[in-house]
């Protein structure tokens, strides 16, 4: 609903369309609302300004737009090093949300007691009202129409599992390993870019001048760094957590 916006109607309509409202959304301009002289012009959002001009409408007027359809949700990327406090900060960002789905991407390993203990500690600290989904099918989760806010923890473990599933660690790797990896990453970035849900993704900031001693380590570092850049490009907010202190980058 827009009040007294006739002067800037073309700019308002253009901005809404760029932000994800359908150009064909129904828009109605009502000058002199509730008065005997009340009229109304209805058009597609992209045609509303021209219709208002042709109809000779002027302020005082109310514009009502039925946005409908899917619109991008608010996407927040939280980065940080290991044990930096990034996961805890991401969880605090969702404090008070009525519905949260915690998307856990790490797989348990019965042979690694320390890793299983870490996963269990994460489970115990989540609010009882949150729903936990353990999956690596992030495009499917991000493509849902409803379900409240999402907290994906983490992109780092998701990528590690993906590279394992694609056979990237084999010597030599399958001939299609690189293509499968690129396709899966592209699907994630695409889903992240257009999700209609409020979503927070936690990931590790990599590099900082340290060069892994193995080729597989360097391959993982580079893949995660490039993925972080692509997710950040489509994010609305980006936070870097260092020593438990969050700093907003954008």
Separation between Cα atoms, residue 24 and residue 16, nearest integer Å: 12
Beta partners for 242? Answer: 245
Q: Is 8 a catalytic residue?
A: no
CB 160 within 8 Å of CB 185: no
Taking the CA atoms of the chain, what radius of gyration do you get in angstroms? 23
Contact 195, 72 (CB under 8 A): yes
Q: What is the C-alpha to C-alpha distance for residues 21 and 72, in angstroms, rounded to an integer?
A: 9
The pair of three-digit structure tokens given for residue 13, joined into one six-digit string: 């309509």
- For residue 75, give the 3-state DSSP assignment: strand
Residue of 39, 44, 122, 221 marked catalytic: 122
Q: Are 152 and 103 in contact (CB under 8 A)?
A: yes
* Own/partner long-range contacts of 18-23 (Cβ < 8 Å, ≥24 apart): 19/71, 19/72, 20/70, 20/71, 20/72, 21/45, 21/65, 21/67, 21/69, 21/71, 22/67, 22/68, 22/69
The structure tokens listed for 232 are 């950040």
**C-beta of residue 105 within 8 angstroms of C-beta of residue 153:** yes
The span from the CA of 104 to the CA of 122, in Å, is 9
What residues are labeled active site?
A: 122
């Amino acid at each position: 609903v827009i009040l007294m916006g006739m002067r800037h109607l073309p700019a308002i309509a253009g901005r809404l369309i760029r932000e994800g409202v359908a150009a064909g959304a129904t828009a109605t301009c009502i000058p002199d609302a509730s008065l005997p002289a009340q009229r109304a012009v209805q058009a597609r959002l992209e045609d509303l300004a021209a219709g208002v001009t042709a109809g000779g409408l002027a302020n005082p007027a109310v514009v009502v737009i039925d946005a409908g359809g899917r619109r991008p949700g608010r996407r927040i990327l939280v980065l940080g090093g290991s044990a930096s406090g990034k996961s805890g900060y991401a969880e605090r960002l969702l404090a008070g949300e009525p519905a949260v789905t915690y998307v856990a991407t790490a797989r348990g390993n019965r042979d690694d007691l320390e890793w299983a203990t870490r996963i269990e500690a994460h489970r115990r600290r989540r609010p009882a009202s949150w729903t936990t989904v353990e999956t690596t099918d992030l495009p499917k989760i991000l493509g849902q129409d409803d379900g409240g806010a999402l907290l994906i923890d983490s992109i780092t473990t998701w990528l590690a599992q993906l590279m394992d599933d694609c056979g990237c660690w084999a010597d030599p790797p399958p001939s299609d390993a690189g293509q499968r990896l690129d396709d899966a990453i592209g699907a994630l970035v695409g889903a992240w870019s257009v999700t209609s849900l409020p979503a927070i993704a936690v990931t590790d900031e990599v590099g900082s001048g340290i060069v892994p001693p193995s080729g597989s380590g360097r391959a993982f570092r580079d893949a995660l760094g490039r993925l972080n850049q692509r997710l950040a490009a489509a994010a609305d907010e980006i936070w870097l957590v260092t020593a438990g202190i969050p700093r907003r980058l954008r």
